[in-house]
Amino acid sequence: MYAVVKTGGKQYKVTVGEKLKVEQIPAELDSQIELTEVLMIADGESVKVGAPFIEGAKVTAKVVAHGRGEKIRIFKMRRRKHYQKRQGHRQNFTQIEIVAIA
């Protein structure tokens, strides 16, 4: 059984017991959160697809950790114009573990 959920502007295919990193969610560690924007649920041969979301469906997850991703370096340059710009970025994330799909 798996589901496709939307969180943080992205879509994720999740199964029970899976850990994944999503955009930062304001929640305490070891707390339960509910992802209600479920786009699809597949259980064997039966598949439910929402328009855009499945009504009454939810995915329960446990917050495992908060952190920051790898540093991304941004470098902009215009040749022959004496223009160079360096910038860095680290995106915050929340690691969750899927507990149940309902």
Q: Which two tokens mark 65?
A: 């950790």
Phi-psi label, residue 17: left if phi above 0, alpha if psi -120 to 50, beta otherwise: left
pLDDT < 50 stretches in the chain:
none
Residue 55 is predicted with a pLDDT of 94
pLDDT of residue 3: 97
Return the residue matching tokens 């999740």: 14
What pLDDT sits at residue 12? Answer: 97
**How far is 82 from 32, CA to CA, in rounded Å?**
52
Strand locations in 1-102 (E)? 2-7, 10-15, 19-23, 32-35, 38-43, 46-49, 59-68, 72-78, 83-89, 92-101
Residue 5: per-residue pLDDT: 97
User: Are 75 and 85 within 8 A, CB to CB?
Assistant: yes
pLDDT at 9: 95
Predicted TM-score (pTM) of the model is 0.85
